[in-house]
A and B are shown apart, each in its own frame.
Chain A
């Protein structure tokens, strides 16, 4: 799936809270527990289901962190794929209704 049409939303099955800028995430289905670093936290918080990942990287990640845009896009894609495999993010090439508010 090309990165420029990816939409991401947070699953409603998870628990999440930021602690000192880093997101704690727990999937209630199997109690897997993660902490996300600051960049991943920004992407997670912006996962509203209707902002394309490309825009999240451009407007949030590249704005707030001193990162190479190409590298940031590649890292974001990898991060999104990983979190979706754990059921934490839902990924689609269509806009999604964010499951959790």
Chain B
């Protein structure tokens, strides 16, 4: 176990929120076709409020802090926020589309010793990327920004969300990342909108096409290992938990709502009304999330994939129950190994359902 994993496990066991993701705004200069956010400003936290939140997070033991959005640079005070975070000695990661990063911004980011900048790139072809972002010249501007950041010696990661419209461009984006000297990460998961609108799910790569991705060693490493049939769960496995959401990680929206994860829209409290640590320690919803062990999962506990499945409790929650299966992960498990999932067997299906029925969930927006 690496030192980093050891520390992560320790935080998990102690219930310390070691990592937090904050969206500082939902406003954006791009209009990505798959984006699940409502881009209007319903009363974002002010600079002073965010600084106060950061003070509270430092006190709570948060070490890894991710700033995202929306587009973070839509906030004129963004550098003031990062500066405050760095003064509090957080390890800061920024997720951005980078179109507003020029030489000066790149220099400021380096001066603030930001750890990593993650930039979304959908295709190496401007006609595809710009059609997804609905912002002309956005690919050109993002690439220019990556060069400025690299000139400053900063670590950059290209995040490639794969969907139907760009699934054939993945190797082109990988090559582009190599040319630019940056890391590459792939995300084949399109998630439903925060308010439960499922129309974006139509952009998800159809399950039938997943095997092609899962058999690409450039993406998954050893195929033999990755596609190996699942091992039967041990008693320990069944006493294990899903992921760090709500255990050592949480998400804070621009309106101060606290959720177990950016992909787990279960409202647990609002930082404008309560102290962060009171929400973290006392929220009944977070306590419930933390209590769920693999053996408590309604369908998954009897699934042969339960130990190797990437089951996301957030997606399961959006589908109807945080103790239930997540159809997107059933698809991945099935197409990765060819072994039917408990969810399929229960419904007598020969292949996983592709679109899950979703319920309407909207984060609580509190006026400033």
A interface, CB within 8 angstroms of B = 12-20, 24, 26, 28-29, 31, 33-35, 100-101
Contact = CB atoms under 8 A, between A and B. Distances in A.
Contacts of A19: 7, 10-11, 14, 16, 18, 61, 63
Given A15-B115, A16-B89, A31 B155 contact: yes
B92 interface: yes
B87 A101 contact: yes
A77 B90 CA distance: 27
5 nearest interchain CB pairs? A15-B91, A17-B63, A28-B113, A13-B113, A16-B89
Given A31-B155, A100-B89, A101-B87, A26 B16 contact: no
Interface of B: 3-4, 7, 10-11, 14, 16, 18, 58, 61-63, 86-87, 89-92, 113-115, 155
Nearest to B153: A29
A100 B87 contact: yes
B7 A12 contact: no
A20 B10 contact: yes
For the complex, would chain A's binding face be called helix, strand, loop or mixed by DSSP majority?
strand
Contacts of A18: 61
For the complex, would chain B's binding face be called helix, strand, loop or mixed by DSSP majority?
mixed
Nearest to B14: A20
Nearest to B62: A17
Q: By CB atoms of chain A within 10 A, which of B7, B18, B62 has the most?
A: B7
Contacts of B155: 31
Nearest to B155: A31
Contacts of B4: 33
Contact of A24 (B7, B86, B115): B7
Contacts of B61: 17-19
Given A17-B63, A35-B7, A28 B91 contact: yes
Nearest to B18: A19
A17 B115 CA distance: 15
B10 A26 contact: no
22 contacts: A14-B89, A15-B90, A15-B92, A15-B113, A17-B89, A18-B61, A19-B14, A19-B16, A19-B61, A19-B63, A20-B16, A24-B7, A26-B63, A28-B113, A28-B114, A31-B115, A33-B7, A34-B3, A35-B3, A100-B87, A100-B89, A101-B87
B106 to A, nearest CB: 15
Nearest to B89: A16
A13 B61 CA distance: 19
Contacts of A100: 87, 89
Given A19-B14, A26-B63, A33-B4, 16 more contacts: A15-B63, A15-B113, A16-B89, A17-B58, A17-B61, A17-B89, A17-B90, A19-B10, A20-B16, A24-B7, A26-B91, A28-B91, A28-B113, A31-B155, A33-B7, A34-B3
Nearest to A29: B113
Contacts of A17: 18, 58, 61-63, 89-90
Contact of B115 (A12, A28, A34, A35): A28
A87 B231 CA distance: 45
